[in-house]
Amino acid sequence: MERKKRVIMLADCQSFYASVEKSAHPEYTSRPLVVAGDPARRSGIILAACPLAKTYGITTAERLSDAIAKCPDVVVVKPRMAEYIRVSLHITSIFQSYTDLVEPYSIDEQFLDVTGSLRLFGSPEAIARQIQQQVWLETGVRVRIGISDTKVVSKMACDLFAKKNKTGIYILPKEEIADKLWSMPIRDMFMVGSRMAHHFYKMGIHTIGDLARTPLPRLRDRWGVNGEVLWRIANGIDDSPVRPGTFMQQQKGIGHQMTLPRDYTTWSEIRVVLLELAELVARRAREKGLMGQVVSVGCRGTDFDKPTGFSRQMKIKEPTQITAEVYNAACELFQRYWDGQPVRRVGVSLTELVPDTEYQLTWFDNREQQRELDKVTDAIKRKFGDTAIIRASSLEHAGQIHDRSRKIGGHYR
């Protein structure tokens, strides 16, 4: 029996954070607007720029000071992550009114399988238009939609075509890939960054078509399974289904990072932040019932043009979710690899995760007491808030826990 042709959509919210802010502030409708770190201090990076701001050359991830130099009248808004999450979930609920097969890809992108919805709502293009209209009316956010019979091609249809046309909709059947995609530069292909593009150039691969026509064994010899993945993308081959809830599945690591309000130059300051990060990471691990055996630490300086810093990891003796053990490993790594240069961003993460239902007991330490103490602290914070009980070191000038408690994902609520 012939398999029914799938209809897969990738819906992308245009300038999502900025769109949410413009919807909340109609007075900014005709003004260039960006969402960025700290407007009061004119610091941080651009998280989102509205289409009008982009006409001035402002781009996501550039420094706020550079954006202001391009457009002195730009409206700078502090990020409100709780609101963005709320709107994203609202948009998800709209998608789910058309199909139960909705897979979040990021906070502003989601896959939809509408194969079973065509008889009820009409053609793929009709469904896309209905979705666009409903999302716009209910949230003030514009949605661009790429449509194909696979997830990977619908993603490229959205990124390369739907985002650039007036309707914000583009249908790219698999049989038209050779005509529409293969002449495009390899750097435009999904999953190809600047570094990978450079490797392809050395191999004489300059377009997506060049990669699609490259013998698969040659790519396997060079990059193993990753080479085959890229070859399949170029040829539009993707059998993966749209899986509801995939974005929420268990992650491979648990991490936190902080962008500091100023350069930290002394070990006494940095260790305070490492302890706060270790506590955040270990607490999340305990909440998820996980332990990790690899602790990673990274830092970066303030000069993006001349980057300094490092990223290193170490495997500890036993999997852990104990704050003190994560902190001690983080300190060991930092003191070993830090070159003394000023630090503006610090991160700690825990990987090689395993369930905490089984763990090694020993006679020679107090791990069980530490575990129980950490859990009591977690319970107090759950009931009374993150700052109900804090370590004395966080009261020092270097501490960030009070500022952090007002944020989600490093950005203000």
Closest Cα partner for 170 from 185, 152, 154, 186?
A: 154
Of residues 323 and 402, the one with the higher pLDDT is 323
The pLDDT of 245-260, averaged and rounded, is 69
Q: According to the model, what pLDDT value does residue 75 have?
A: 94
Whether the predicted pLDDT of 397 surpasses 80: no
Confidence class of residue 400 from pLDDT cuts 50, 70 and 90?
A: low
Residue 241, domain member (yes or no): no
Residue 163, domain member (yes or no): yes
Q: Is there a catalytic annotation at residue 21?
A: no
Q: Are residues 45 and 114 in the same domain?
A: yes
Q: Is 108 annotated as a binding residue?
A: yes
Confidence class of residue 248 from pLDDT cuts 50, 70 and 90?
A: very low
Mean pLDDT of the chain: 86
Q: Indicate which CATH number applies to the domain containing 64.
A: 3.30.70.270
pLDDT tens per residue, range 174-202? 899 999 999 999 999 998 988 889 999 99
Whether the predicted pLDDT of 2 surpasses 90: no
pLDDT tens per residue, range 130-166? 999 999 999 999 999 999 999 999 999 999 999 999 9
Final residue in a domain of this structure, among 234, 261, 276:
234
* Cα 365 → chain centroid: 38
Q: According to the model, what pLDDT value does residue 394 have?
A: 59
What is the Cα–Cα distance from 208 to 234, expressed in whole angstroms? 6
Whether the predicted pLDDT of 40 surpasses 80: no
The pLDDT of 59-84, averaged and rounded, is 90
Residue 274, domain member (yes or no): yes
Q: How many CB atoms lie within 10 A of CB 276?
A: 24
Q: 375 near 286, Cβ under 8 Å?
A: yes
Q: What is the DSSP string of 121-176?
A: H-SHHHHHHHHHHHHHHHHS--EEEEEESSHHHHHHHHHHTGGGSSSSEEE--GGG
Torsion of CA 319, 312, 224, 242, to 10 degrees: 60
The pLDDT of 280-289, averaged and rounded, is 88
Q: Are residues 228 and 118 in the same domain?
A: no
Q: According to the model, what pLDDT value does residue 194 have?
A: 84
Q: Indicate which CATH number applies to the domain containing 198.
A: 1.10.150.20
Q: Are residues 395 and 345 in the same domain?
A: yes
Going by the DSSP 8-state scheme, the letter that residue 251 receives in this structure is P
Q: According to the model, what pLDDT value does residue 236 have?
A: 93
Domain range spanning residue 202?
181-234
Q: Indicate which CATH number applies to the domain containing 407.
A: 3.30.1490.100
Q: According to the model, what pLDDT value does residue 1 have?
A: 43
Whether the predicted pLDDT of 332 surpasses 70: yes
Tokens linked to 331 = 């300190």
Active-site residue, from 2, 21, 103, 109: 109
Q: Are residues 294 and 149 in the same domain?
A: no
pLDDT tens per residue, range 219-241? 999 888 889 999 999 999 999 99
What is the Cα–Cα distance from 215 to 219, expressed in whole angstroms? 7
Q: Which residue has the tokens 């607490």?
A: 283
pLDDT tens per residue, range 348-365? 999 888 887 755 555 556
